[in-house]
Amino acid sequence: MDEILIESSTGSGIVRLYNSGIMYQTYKDGSELKKEDSDHEMMLYRKNFCKDTSRPILVELDNVKTVSKESRAIYSSPETAEVISAAALLVGNPVSRIIGNFYLGLNKSVMPVKMFTNRDEAFLWLKTFLPG
């Protein structure tokens, strides 16, 4: 894995920016993502990680218990696509797979979103969305 350039707590988890330009979001065990969590994440992404560019992100869902309708709407919004160029959803258990499938089935995201069970494959896919 690449070297971590920036790491920050999102309240519900941790987001890291690797020297490859890919962000990696993990969550605390049992996380229940609500609108406030998603708003806070997007503010951090914009302010600390993306600034004037958009970046691909790997989102590890294994510790997530629920994601509210409002959060899903934020994650798939045009405003989020301004800072996130593509999202890989990493799933490794039945609950995370249900959450990933639910998101992909109900939310029509402006940016490319794909579900993975393998972290390396997810990173390879995300690298295709890096600028230059």
Helix or strand or coil: residue 49? helix
- The DSSP secondary-structure symbol of 46 reads I
Reported in sequence order, the residue ranges of the chain that DSSP labels E, i.e. its strands, are 4-9, 13-18, 23-27, 31-33, 55-60, 64-67, 84-90, 113-116
Assigned domain for 68 exists? yes
Residues 6+ apart with CB under 8 A from 125: 86, 88, 114, 116
The confidence score (pLDDT) of residue 121 equals 97
Assigned domain for 79 exists? yes
Q: Which domain holds residue 100?
A: 4-127
Q: In whole angstroms, give the CA distance from residue 79 to residue 69.
A: 16
Q: In whole angstroms, give the CA distance from residue 81 to residue 58.
A: 14
Assigned domain for 50 exists? yes
* pLDDT tens over the chain, length 132 residues: 589 999 999 889 999 999 999 999 999 999 999 999 999 998 989 888 888 889 999 999 999 999 998 998 888 888 988 999 999 999 999 888 888 876 777 767 788 999 999 999 999 999 999 987
Bridge partners (DSSP) of residue 99 are none
Amino acid letter at 16? Answer: R
As given in the structure block, the two tokens for residue 39 are: 């708003």
Assigned domain for 63 exists? yes
CATH of the domain at 96: 3.30.750.24
Our count of domains for the chain comes to 1
- The residue length of the chain stands at 132
Assigned domain for 132 exists? no
pTM above 0.85, yes or no: yes
